[in-house]
Every structure is written in C-alpha cells, then in structure tokens.
Structure 1
C-alpha cells in the first residue's frame, strides 16, 4: 500500500539521490584535484570534502521534502526558523564559525602551503615560522626555537603575511 501510494515520489527521490551522488562524486574529485594541484595536504582536502557533503545532504533533504508534497512556503518557514534558532545559538560562538569560514577561504585562496616559512606582520606580536599544518580552525607554525604556535584562521586572513623562504620543508625536517 505504501509503495503504491508513494510510487512516483519514491521514483523521483531515487532519481534525485542518483543526481546528488553524482554531484558529490564530481565535487569530491574536483576538490581533491584542486587540493593536490595547489599542494594542500590530504586532511584539509578531506575537511572541505566533508563540508560539501553536508551541504549537499541538506539540499537533498530539501528536495525530498518538496517531492513528498511539502510546499516551498512551508519549507522556507521551517528553514528560516531553524536557521534563526541556530544563528542565535551560534552567535555566542561566532569566532568558531569565523575560523571555519576562514579555513574554507584559505583552502581556495591561501597562497602558502605546509612547509613554507612565513612572517605574520602583527604590530603587537609579529610571528615568523614554518607552516606545519593548516586545520579547520587554526594554522600551526613551528618557530625557529622549536615552539609550536597555533594561529587562528580568521586572524591570518586579517594580517599581512610575507613568504620568508620558499620550500622551507627541508629546514623543517632538520628541526625534528
């Protein structure tokens, strides 16, 4: 009975699922190629890939709800209400969201990669070190004295950064 009643909806959902799986595959391959082409490490590639998968999943849920008869106006009210509640709840932790957003921006446009020696021009506390890792929330810099400094992604995009030494990975390897 259920299958007969929702036959068209189930067929449409299967088609949409196949399309979304194809889009996810294409995006995953594209992100991996772009990341490898620009010298981004696999952990960051995986992180951006997960972000796109979650976004696609939310879009898929929206499509499925529409297929099963939800009106666009109803979906808009539900999503706006949910996002309003989430927005209010997350406002208190905006720096985390800012760092995640900055991490995504850095994936696509940050000109430096792991192993590069950079100088962050901060008038209060300038930092010079080798990029050891670029994560979702922060950049890991290894200073010349061996100390590890974590620098928030949102701040790295707000400061001037200079490439001190290209391919400092050799120097980095000597430190360990």
Structure 2
C-alpha cells in the first residue's frame, strides 16, 4: 500500500483545514481593515493587529494538523515546553526586550496617543517633546521641532509621564 492510499483521509482533511483557515484569515483581515477605517485607526496598527491574530490562527492550525495526523501529545508538549523554556531564559536575560514587547502591545490596544499627536515626555534627565511618526512593537519614533528623529523605547513611554500637547490648527498640516 502506498503512502497516498494509506493516508488519503488525513491528506484530504489537512487540505480542507488549510483552505478553511486561509478563508478565515482573509475574512478576519478584511474585517479588521474595515473596522480600522470606520474607527479611524491607523492602518499600520490594523496591520499589526492582523499579524498578531494571524499568528494565533496559525498556531491553532498547527495544533489541528497535529490532531489530524495523530502526533502524540506527549511529544508535542515536550517540544513546546523545551522551546518555551529556552525562550523564557533568553527573554529573562534580556528583560528590556520583553518589557518593550509588552509595552508595545499595551500601546497598540489601549491607544493612549496616536500617530500625529505631539507629546511631551516628563523625564528629569532627558525631557522630550515631539510628534509621533510611528509606533512599532519595540519603540516609537518621535520627530522633534528641530526635525530630529528620536527612537524612544515603548516601556519608557509607559513608565514616564506623557502629556499630549494641543497644537493649534495653523501649526498642524491639513490631513484628509
């Protein structure tokens, strides 16, 4: 008996699962983009949220493929816990990376300020005022009045006091 004859039900089930997941990902991405446009959320944030959701969906898909093919759960748990342990030790050694990722997620979902806002960071050693150019997972880009582009870690944005500075209409560009 050949491999294909023996595993036809598993192959068909896997293909059906992958097609369904692809359709679901497409629909969810379209819904997120539509919601972002309706709620006037920055497109960049919507794309990042889509990526995070796609990552979760792909992890669930991998679990589904494991179940279809009958992979022993003990082997999966062993591999998963080993990888998580290694990642945990690496992140513990680099706690600032982990804190920046966490702060980036908080900034993405809580929206305390948005791209285009002018903020003032209250730091006694290095006070800073600038317009937010972009918010990434690890850091935020601020443009000062002098035109300097400053990369500021997200964890410090959550630790320091931040004020949103009101700018007058004449100072800001017209954005449609």
TM-score (normalizing by structure 1): 0.81
> 1:117·1:167 contact (CA, 8 Å) conserved in 2?
no
> 1:118·1:130 contact (CA, 8 Å) conserved in 2?
yes
Aligned to 2:135: 134
CA gap 1:27/1:100 in 2 versus in 1, 3 angstroms: farther
Aligned to 2:78: 77
Aligned to 1:64: 65
Q: Distance in 2 between matches of 1:172 and 1:151?
A: 22
Poorly superposed stretches of 4+, deviation over 6 Å = none
Alpha-carbon distance, 1:155 to partner = 1.5
> 1:20·1:60 contact (CA, 8 Å) conserved in 2?
yes
CA gap 1:19/1:58 in 2 versus in 1, 3 angstroms: same
Query: RCO higher in 1 or 2 (8 Å CA, sep ≥ 6)?
Result: 1
Aligned to 2:93: 92
Aligned to 1:33: 34
Q: Secondary structure at the match of 1:114?
A: coil
Residues 103-123 of structure 1: CA distance to partner in whole angstroms, max 9, x if unpaired? 222222123211111122234
Aligned to 2:171: 171
Q: Secondary structure at the match of 1:130?
A: strand
Q: Distance in 2 between matches of 1:50 and 1:103?
A: 14
Alpha-carbon distance, 1:79 to partner = 0.9
> 1:115·1:172 contact (CA, 8 Å) conserved in 2?
no
Q: Distance in 2 between matches of 1:27 and 1:161?
A: 33
How many corresponding residue pairs? 173
Gaps of 5+ in 2: none
> 1:31·1:49 contact (CA, 8 Å) conserved in 2?
yes
Q: Distance in 2 between matches of 1:152 and 1:38?
A: 27
Query: What aligned pairs does 1:118-129 form with structure 2 within 5 A after superposition?
Result: 118-129=119-130
Gaps of 5+ in 1: none
CA RMSD between the two structures: 2.6
Q: Distance in 2 between matches of 1:94 and 1:32?
A: 33
TM-score (normalizing by structure 2): 0.81
